[in-house]
């Protein structure tokens, strides 16, 4: 959130956050960045979209004063991350671009402490802002909500989604990116192949997280999409992209990574409820190669043990 100050604008609530919590990076979700690591997830409030199905509308669409905000200086946030054994910091919950100057300061402090920064974004930002985001964040999950002006206009409140596509291309060239698309049966499921082809046109190794709509906010009375129907459409897309995940429902059978060359399951995850997953088995070698065929699987950073950041902070008194 910004206010005009003379000829410029400034952030209205710098360094104010609604949450800070340690999570699995896979739950954010990032499935191909620092697998196994512990992320300090932070978020502020506000968004430049008005998605009809927003799961976090009580934060993203809240007014100042409606939700509780912590004031946490960048150094303090980084200290919290280190004290709690987190390996990176991820800005999620709401659109980070509404708090961009704060995010950049946190990223600088985090980088100095050896902690990479990531974020989730809807990608609807200016050319200048996307450069700033790209410099601040090593890994970015961009929500590509659909693939038509009509969908974006009706369900997100913006009239032109071409900046989103432009920014995805730009970020894909510089950063590790993953893409997320909530699918609403009968509304944007016919765009599945278009989206897969768009992703493949940049890099077919970009992971794509397809979410089953969770009826919330303005769509709370909608039906839950059929998993079978959506997954049948995804089968065709899997011919185009090797890393397609289908989740946002408990027990999903489509959150593990298979080697694109031999089909072997190389990273096993469970969906315990929520949008991503929890990793339970990492079978790639230290160079992220398939143990069966040696094929390189696209992973940003290395596998990181969940508890490897705990040592020295005395948070765990029984040896984990």
Partner 1 sequence: MAYAVLDVREWDVVVDLDTGAPVNVNEAGIDSSMLSMARQVIKGHPYPGDFAPESMEWVTDTALRLWKAYDPHFMFISYAQPGILGGVIDMTPDDWNDIVDRQCKNVDRFIENTGYTPVVVGLGDMVPLKGYVNLSGLDGIGYVRRANRRYAGLFNPSDNDLVQLSKMPGVERVVSKRDFINLFGAADGFRRRFPDYLVVAEEGYGFKAMGTSTRIGYRTIARNESIPVYTRLGDAGIHSLVDVKDAIIRNVSHQRIALILLDGIGVEDFRGQYDLCDNSVYWYTYCQGDDSYLAISCGKHFQYNDYPPGWLDFIEDSEAKKYPYDGFIESSPPDSIGNYLRTETGVTSAAVGSRSTFTHLAGGSDICVECCCCGLYNYGTKAVIYKDQA
Question: Cβ 71 to partner 1, closest distance in Å?
Answer: 8
Binding status of residue 216 toward partner 1 by CB under 8 A? yes
Listed ranges 7-15, 112-120, 174-182, 302-310: which one lies at the site for partner 1 (CB under 8 A): 302-310
Binding status of residue 281 toward partner 1 by CB under 8 A? yes
Binding status of residue 38 toward partner 1 by CB under 8 A? yes
Binding pattern to partner 1, positions 221-260, x when CB under 8 A? ---x-xxx--------------------xxx-x-------
Q: Is 28 exposed, middle or buried (0-12, 13-18, 19+ CB in 10 A)?
A: buried
Binding status of residue 189 toward partner 1 by CB under 8 A? no
Contact 217, 177 (CB under 8 A): no
Binding status of residue 219 toward partner 1 by CB under 8 A? no
Contact 35, 201 (CB under 8 A): no
Contact 183, 146 (CB under 8 A): no
Contact 28, 39 (CB under 8 A): yes
Binding status of residue 20 toward partner 1 by CB under 8 A? yes
Nearer to partner 1 among residue 261 and residue 272 (C-beta): 272
Nearer to partner 1 among residue 2 and residue 270 (C-beta): 270
- The CA-atom distances, in angstroms, between 109 and each of 73, 74, 88, 106, 256 are 10, 6, 12, 5, 33
Q: Cα separation of 293 and 315, whole Å?
A: 40
Among 48, 84, 205, 264, binds partner 1 (CB under 8 A): 84
Binding status of residue 276 toward partner 1 by CB under 8 A? no
Contact 103, 119 (CB under 8 A): yes
DSSP secondary structure of 237-266? HTTT-S-EEEESSTT-SB-SEE-TTT--EE
Nearer to partner 1 among residue 90 and residue 171 (C-beta): 90
Binding site for partner 1 (CB under 8 A): 18-24, 36, 38, 43, 55-56, 58-59, 62, 66-68, 70-72, 76, 80, 83-85, 93, 212, 214, 216, 220, 224, 226-228, 249-251, 253, 270, 272-274, 278-282, 305-307, 310, 313-318, 320
């Amino acid at each position: 959130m910004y206010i005009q100050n003379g000829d410029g604008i400034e952030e209205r609530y710098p360094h104010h956050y609604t949450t800070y919590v340690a999570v699995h990076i896979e739950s954010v979700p990032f499935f191909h960045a620092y697998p196994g690591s512990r992320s300090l997830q932070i978020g502020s409030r506000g968004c430049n979209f008005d998605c009809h199905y927003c799961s976090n509308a009580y934060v993203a669409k809240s007014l100042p004063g409606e939700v509780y905000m912590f004031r946490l200086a960048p150094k303090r946030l980084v200290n919290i991350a280190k004290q709690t054994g987190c390996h990176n910091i991820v800005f999620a919950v709401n659109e980070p671009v509404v708090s961009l100057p704060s995010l950049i300061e946190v990223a600088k402090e985090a980088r100095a402490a050896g902690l990479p920064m990531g974020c989730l974004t809807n990608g609807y930002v200016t050319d200048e802002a996307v450069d700033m985001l790209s410099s601040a964040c090593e890994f970015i999950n961009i929500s590509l909500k659909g693939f038509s002006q009509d969908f974006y206009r009706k369900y997100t409140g913006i009239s032109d989604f071409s900046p989103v596509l432009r920014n995805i291309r730009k970020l894909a060239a510089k950063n590790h990116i993953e893409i997320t698309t909530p699918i609403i049966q009968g509304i944007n499921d016919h765009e599945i192949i278009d989206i897969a082809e768009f992703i493949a046109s940049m890099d077919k190794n970009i992971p794509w997280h397809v979410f089953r709509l969770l009826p919330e906010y303005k769509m709370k009375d909608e039906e839950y999409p059929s998993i079978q129907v959506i997954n049948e459409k995804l089968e065709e897309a899997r011919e185009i992209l090797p890393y397609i995940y289908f989740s946002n429902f408990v027990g999903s059978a489509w959150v593990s990574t298979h080697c694109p060359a031999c089909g072997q399951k190389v990273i096993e995850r469970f969906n315990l409820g929520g949008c991503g997953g929890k990793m339970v088995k990492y079978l790639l070698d230290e160079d992220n190669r398939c143990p069966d065929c040696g094929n390189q699987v696209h992973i940003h950073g290395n596998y990181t043990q969940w508890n490897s950041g705990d040592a020295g902070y005395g948070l765990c008194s029984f040896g984990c």
